Structure 1
Amino acid sequence: MRKLLKCPVTVALLILWAALSVVGYLGKDTIYKNYTVDIRTTPYFVLVFDGLHDGIFPWSHVGAPDGIGENGKLPSILLPGESVSDTELAGGTETVGETETEEAPHTREFCMVDDDWFDDAVFIGDSRTVGLRDYGGLDNATFYASTGLGIYDMWTEKFCEVDGEKTTLEDALSRRQFGKIYFQIGINEMGRGTLDGFMEQYAQSVQKFRELQPDAIIYVQGIMRVAKAKSDSDKIFNNQGINERNMRIAELADNQTIFYIDVNDVVCDADGNLRADLTFDNLHLYGSKYGIWVDFLKTKGIAP
């Protein structure tokens, strides 16, 4: 042992191990609070490495990520034909005489639509969206979805099939313009990273949709909840955590070009749990039940 302690490399590694353990311990209730760690089998310094992998650094602060405005909203997008006036750039108000008025934002209402509404739509998401693709009957829609897909790898993985080849989401969205984007993701990230870290990546992804698809209506969909049996027994995949994420996702909507919709309205019971008769594993819908989701989407068209 004394010989080891005389080795500079060993001493340096011990100091580094101790320092990372202290950082992990001090951050376990703040920046690493959403990570799962059992100190009996996993040392605290593992939190630091997990955080670094997800882009969370020991000096991270909780706050609004770049590109997000007040209340967590993304900057609004101009509708076709609209322009920005000098008064809007100055703060959205104009003075007429001595009276100051504030222009109300143009909000758009939901309406019923038919199957052809989805002909120019793209659905982006994880295994639940895969199920919607396989069993929803939206044959003319485009699906860029993959089982296990997460917010941290959705821009690097080649999971989109275009012209018979697998490519990245950015490349796929660069090749064709869509009228609507339906986005649901988040269940696979639970227990990994922090809520703020998740939302930063989520908001950046929505912003990238806007850049790649400037004319598309963007639907940010609430994460589908799990059944009561799973929620009550699972420390990670539970409805409390899902609800926290959905509240933050909803804040991204401006009801002009970005809309929040939540399929939980039609697949959950009175207590807010995914109905047991709709799921085979407490997490995914039976194939025969995806029609409920499609019928819900048909109530969420956007009026001109």
Structure 2
Amino acid sequence: MKIKSYLLIILIVISAVGLSVCSYIYTPAKYQEYSVGVDKEPVMAPMLKGASAGVFPWSPVEKQEDPQSLAKKDKVAETKPEAKIEVVEPKSFTKVDDSYFDDAVFIGDSRMVGLSQYCPEIDSRATFFAKKSLTIYNLQKDAWIDVENGPKETIFDALSKISFSKVYIMVGINEIGRGTNEGYRDAYADVIKRILEIQPDALIFINSTMHVTKEKSDGDELYNNGNINVRNAALFDLIDNQHIFYLNVNDMLDDGEGNLDESLSGDGVHLKGSCYEPWHQYLLFNGVVD
């Protein structure tokens, strides 16, 4: 029994010495964070604490960067210039003369027809693709433009034959009560997208749908200025003031209460033939020049 006890003691001593030696050797490399100092704990303690955390002498060593290297990297990161964000300034409106319309096309409904008929300063210079009762849906899908000695063609076919730098659009009154505001907006967006595919350098001017007179608005559940305002507002998010602009022609044609000035209209909806000059002047004061 005494021999076995001595052997056990010898094995314990050898194990303790071995653990202490291993801990002493590996503490700087693997067990530094587990050590509180040899004067405060046994030499083997860091190794035992590391082993309990799953760190053994044969575990791979993660390379630690020295504080000076880390500080240098931080300094480089601090001095590295930030990426520049390009800010695109919106283009602004400016006064132009009638020659501005030499390379313009005007697309629209009966109100646009009236501009062609009663504003010779523009009609003599610009191209007009306009007809009564036209809607954004006709623009989007139909072949409606007359061609001499040939079948009617779409607006996109017509635009592909001539180069324009300005495209003016006014529709909207005939769409009131038809479809949803979202559908109207999406159809308008599709038309503009397709026009820009054909004429990529053109400026697109969305003319607001013109208001009706107070008498017409108050007496019509469908064609009233509340519904017109909602449809106009549906187009605001199409505007980027780089290629696509919004012209609120109602600013020049309304009375002081947001209705078409009754003195300008005979039927409450269309301008009198002698009353297109305010629209003409509005266009002259709202050109865009690069």
**TM-score in same-fold range (> 0.5):** yes
Which residue number corresponds to residue 278 of structure 1? 264
Q: CA deviation at 1:179?
A: 0.9
Quick one: which amino acid aligns to residue 92 of structure 2?
A: E
Q: CA deviation at 1:251?
A: 2.1
Task: Report the count of equivalent residues.
Answer: 210
Structure 2 distance, partners of 1:275, 1:252, is: 28
CA contact (8 A) 1:144 1:159 kept: no
Cα separation, partners in 2 of 1:200 and 1:100, compared to 1, 3 Å: same
Structure 2 distance, partners of 1:292, 1:247, is: 22
Cα separation, partners in 2 of 1:294 and 1:102, compared to 1, 3 Å: same
Which residue number corresponds to residue 111 of structure 1? 94
Structure 1 distance, partners of 2:79, 2:165, is: 38
CA contact (8 A) 1:222 1:249 kept: no
Q: CA deviation at 1:282?
A: 0.4
Higher relative contact order (CA 8 A, sep 6+): 1
Q: CA deviation at 1:250?
A: 2.4
Quick one: which amino acid aligns to residue 149 of structure 1?
A: L
1:181-200 residue pairs with structure 2 within 5 A? Answer: 181-200=167-186
Quick one: which amino acid aligns to residue 118 of structure 1?
A: F
Structure 1 distance, partners of 2:80, 2:142, is: 57
Q: CA deviation at 1:196?
A: 0.8
Higher relative strand content: 1
Quick one: which amino acid aligns to residue 88 of structure 2?
A: P
Question: SS of the residue aligned with 2:99?
Answer: helix
- What value does the CA root-mean-square deviation take over the aligned residues? 1.8
5+ unaligned residues in a row in structure 1: which ranges?
1-94
Q: CA deviation at 1:212?
A: 1.2
Which residue number corresponds to residue 66 of structure 2? none
CA contact (8 A) 2:95 2:286 kept: yes
Q: CA deviation at 1:209?
A: 1.1
Question: SS of the residue aligned with 1:280?
Answer: coil
Report the structure number with the largest CA radius of gyration. Answer: 2
Higher relative helix content: 2
Quick one: which amino acid aligns to residue 117 of structure 2?
A: D
Which residue number corresponds to residue 58 of structure 2? none
Structure 1 distance, partners of 2:283, 2:114, is: 15
Quick one: which amino acid aligns to residue 219 of structure 1?
A: F
Which residue number corresponds to residue 296 of structure 1? 282
Q: CA deviation at 1:187?
A: 0.6
Q: CA deviation at 1:161?
A: 4.1
CA contact (8 A) 2:182 2:234 kept: no
Structure 2 distance, partners of 1:213, 1:162, is: 20
Stretch moving more, 181-190 or 157-166:
157-166
> TM-score w.r.t. structure 1 length?
0.66
Match of 1:145 among 109, 115, 130: 130
Structure 2 distance, partners of 1:97, 1:247, is: 45
Match of 1:159 among 112, 121, 144: 144
Which residue number corresponds to residue 121 of structure 1? 104
